[in-house]
């Protein structure tokens, strides 16, 4: 401790402030003040002069109807009527309001309240009367208190009921708001799809599988009869597609199938870009905006899967075409999500361009057929060698050419499938005409291989 410290403490104890002590000692005020501050803190004395001042008893002057209260240093003065003081005590001691609530209620400043509280030594458990009131009839005061409490009880009860009712009302309003919002969203985006109701058949052990590859629909392609000999648009495509599905469902009634295979894609959509071109950018003649085309396609595919799933459990996967490489993948994801809880429908969202189905001794490979060229005859053996070894009847089913042809080499048939689409202007001009609008479906036997080809001709 430096020499001056003890002297400073002594002077401070004698009642001198930091200014006088620093002048006396010839030291800077800040040095002395900060030392005394730390010393007082160490002694656990009050730090902060205001607090110290407020702790000293204020002076109360009684003026009959009102009091004038001054703090010990005369820096704060409050005038309060006795009537107000009574209300203050009722609110604070009887109703147990907080200081802030009482201040708000009586419109008085918090420091004024504290001064009044200190002056009269008011505490929460104090009686809600002035000392002079207690000189009179105590019983009457007690009665008055009880009456007031009863009244307050009913007021509080009523307020609580109102609060509850308001809260409930707000909840109902919020519920209504969300219900209306949901309804609006649903009705804006709904499509009038009703799930077809065909009775589901019991699981069969027939050893038969039905394959329904509707290739090259080219949904939303536009063709004009005077130019191409035949009209084609989104509505005609929809009708042709559904005609094929209905034909298949009709014929299947006379069979028992264990499995239905339904590849999607294969140029199901006519274009893949916002400006109406194929995936690689070749412009097309289109009938529809891209989003509308996709929504219609989704609707057709869901309907088709629903109908086919009444025949037997359905396996669905995507074969990307050169017109719908991306769009058909989005569609398969849609189907996957749509049928996620349907045990009868399995949707494979693998983006591979070639897919395989093994059924007994049959192995069917699927690809759109625009890329592999002659290599296709060697792809199956390399990609699924074990299945190749287990099977005997092997075929590739491709689209793209819109016409039927079969070539068999090295133990595998490559079968190009017909299409139900119409000829567009470019194909007409180029001389690609005359293909019959037909779709082929295949009946496979586990032991005997391909047994039947169903031709669904559309007009």
Residue 225 neighbours by CB distance under 10 Å = 10
Nearer to Mn ion, 22 or 278 (CB): 278
Helix (H) or strand (E) holding 442, with range, is: strand 438-445
Local structure of 15: helix, strand or coil = coil
* Buried-exposed string 425-448: b where 16+ CB fall within 10 A, e elsewhere: eebbeeeeeebebbbbbbbbbeee
The position carrying tokens 């586990």 is 446
Q: Which residues bind Mn ion (CB under 5 A)?
A: 267, 321-322, 400
Local structure of 404: helix, strand or coil = coil
Q: Percentages helix, strand, coil for the chain, rounded to the nearest 5? A: 45, 20, 35
CA distances from 12 to 1, 35, 85 (A): 16, 11, 39
| CB 370 to Mn ion: min, Å | 5
Nearer to Mn ion, 117 or 400 (CB): 400
Nearer to Mn ion, 216 or 445 (CB): 216
The CA-based dihedral angle spanning residues 122, 123, 124, 130, taken in that order and rounded to the nearest 10 degrees: -30
| CB 368 to Mn ion: min, Å | 6
Nearer to Mn ion, 278 or 288 (CB): 278
Distance CA(62)–CA(82), nearest Å, equals 10
Nearer to Mn ion, 259 or 279 (CB): 279
Residue nearest to Mn ion (CB): 400
| CB 217 to Mn ion: min, Å | 11
Query: What phi-psi label fits residue 153: left (phi over 0), alpha (psi between -120 and 50 degrees) or beta?
Result: alpha
| CB 324 to Mn ion: min, Å | 9
| CB 242 to Mn ion: min, Å | 21
Nearer to Mn ion, 267 or 445 (CB): 267
Nearer to Mn ion, 310 or 328 (CB): 328
| CB 170 to Mn ion: min, Å | 59
Round to the nearest angstrom and report the end-to-end CA distance of the chain.
112
Nearer to Mn ion, 238 or 267 (CB): 267
| CB 194 to Mn ion: min, Å | 32
Query: DSSP letters of 41-105?
Result: HHTT---SHHHHHHHSPPEEEE-SSEEEEE-TTSS-EEEEEHHHHHHHHIIIIIS---HHHHHHH
Local structure of 318: helix, strand or coil = strand
| CB 292 to Mn ion: min, Å | 21
């Amino acid at each position: 401790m430096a020499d001056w410290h003890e002297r400073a403490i002594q002077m401070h104890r004698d009642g001198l402030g930091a200014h006088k002590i620093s002048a006396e000692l010839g030291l800077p005020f800040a040095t002395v003040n900060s030392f005394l501050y730390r010393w007082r803190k160490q002694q656990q004395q009050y730090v902060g002069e205001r607090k110290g001042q407020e702790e000293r008893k204020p002076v109360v002057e009684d003026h009959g109807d009102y009091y004038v209260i001054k703090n010990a240093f005369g820096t704060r003065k409050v005038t309060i009527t006795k009537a107000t003081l009574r209300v203050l005590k009722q609110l604070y001691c009887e109703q147990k309001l907080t200081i802030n609530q009482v201040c708000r209620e009586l419109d008085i400043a918090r420091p004024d309240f504290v001064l009044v509280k200190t002056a009269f030594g008011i505490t929460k458990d104090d009686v809600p009367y002035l000392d002079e009131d207690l000189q009179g009839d105590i019983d009457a005061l007690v009665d008055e208190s009880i009456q007031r409490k009863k009244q307050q009880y009913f007021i509080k009860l009523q307020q609580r009921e109102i609060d509850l009712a308001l809260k409930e009302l707000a909840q109902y309003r919020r519920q209504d708001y969300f219900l209306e919002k949901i309804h609006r969203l649903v009705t804006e985006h709904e499509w009038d799809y009703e799930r077809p109701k065909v009775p589901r058949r019991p699981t069969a052990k027939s050893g038969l599988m039905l394959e329904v590859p509707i290739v090259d629909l080219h949904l939303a392609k536009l063709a004009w009869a005077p130019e191409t000999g035949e009209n084609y648009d989104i509505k005609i495509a929809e009708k042709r597609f559904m005609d094929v599905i209905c034909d298949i469902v009709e014929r299947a009634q006379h069979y028992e199938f264990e499995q239905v295979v339904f590849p999607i894609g294969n140029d199901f959509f006519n274009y893949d870009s916002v400006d109406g071109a194929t995936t690689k950018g070749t412009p097309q003649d289109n009938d529809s905006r891209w989003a509308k085309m996709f929504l219609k396609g989704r609707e057709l595919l869901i309907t088709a899967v629903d109908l086919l799933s009444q025949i037997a459990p359905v396996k669905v996967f995507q074969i990307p075409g050169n017109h719908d490489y991306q769009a058909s993948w989005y569609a398969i994801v849609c189907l996957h999500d749509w049928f996620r809880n349907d045990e009868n429908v399995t949707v494979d969202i693998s983006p591979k361009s070639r897919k395989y189905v093994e059924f007994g001794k049959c192995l069917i490979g699927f690809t759109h057929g625009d890329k592999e060229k002659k290599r296709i005859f060697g792809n199956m053996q390399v990609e699924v060698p074990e299945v190749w070894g287990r099977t005997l009847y092997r075929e590739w089913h491709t689209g793209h050419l819109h016409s039927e042809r079969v070539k068999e080499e090295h133990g595998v048939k490559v079968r190009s499938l017909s299409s139900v689409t119409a000829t567009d202007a470019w194909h007409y001009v180029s001389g690609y005409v005359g293909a019959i609008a037909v779709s082929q479906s295949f009946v496979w036997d586990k032991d005997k291989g391909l047994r039947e080809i169903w031709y669904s001709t559309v007009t």
